[in-house]
Amino acid sequence: MRSGKFVLRLSSEMHDKLKKIAFNNEESLNQVCVRFLEEGVQGFSKKGSRGHRHPHCSNPETLQPELAVQTLLSVVDSLPQRVELKRTPRRVLDLYTQLTKGRHIDPIQALAQKRLSSPHQQLITLHGIRFVSLCEHHLMPFYGDVFLAYIPDQYIAGLSHLTKMVESYAERLQLQERLTDEICQGLRQALNPLGVGVVVRATQLCLNIQQGQSLQTQFMTSQFWGEMQNTTSQNTFMHQIQAFGQRVF
């Protein structure tokens, strides 16, 4: 490590420590190294981070995740300390927090508390529920539409509550196959219907980018239970989707 006219040779452990202090104080690594030389090891250890905290880190518990993002930046960028990337760790943490906020919600309990008694026992469908989720394999988004169908027995649910259930399952680390299954199981447990059908159509960014495919490539999953396993009920559901203008097969 060069600092001024000196060559500063550091252990990997000390290098990482100085790097974290630089990030915490919004200083360059060279500035921290100069202070290290001027104050000596003992004096520097006492003053070290100057008692400062990263200005965009209001909660000290988020400092470590931000430092993890900073480490990632050092791998993917040749100048990770440049000013344009100063707020990137905070922005990344905020984004991933937003994309995974559903993990704090119990979708089944939330929907069950809003269900309404009803004698209706005919097919109910809800089409085109938009969602954005986060692939747990590559931490990249996948997004698309959910199509729901269920045949009530004693209970129904408001459309907004069904939408919130889908969002709650989507807003966490997910796989599309599991998302489809969880929505189906959630409807079963919350409403005790006679049958449930779920179709999910999504664009997987990790798949498209890795294989160089068009961003129009879409992945389809479905799950049917109870009376929705009946061919007639399934055909009715799929025909309604097509009539809605969303051809899925």
Region for residue 118 given its phi and psi (left: phi exceeds 0; alpha: psi -120 to 50; beta: otherwise): beta
Helix, strand, coil tally for the chain in percent (to 5): 50, 20, 30
pLDDT in tens, 24-71: 665 666 666 666 555 554 444 444 444 444 444 445 566 788 889 999
Provide the β-strand partners of residue 198.
Answer: 148, 223
- Which residue in 43, 49, 52 sits closest to 31, CA to CA? 49
pLDDT in tens, 125-139: 999 999 999 999 999
Write down the pTM of the prediction.
0.74
Question: From CA 50, how far away is CA 65, in angstroms rounded?
Answer: 21
* Cα dihedral: 15, 21, 22, 27 (round 10): -150
Provide the β-strand partners of residue 148.
Answer: 126, 198
Cα radius of gyration (the chain)? 26
pLDDT in tens, 196-249: 999 999 999 888 787 665 566 789 999 999 999 999 999 999 988 888 765 554
Place of tokens 């294989």: 211
Q: Which domains does the chain have, with CATH numbers?
A: 2-99 (no CATH), 109-243 (3.30.1130.10)
pLDDT of 192 higher than 90: yes
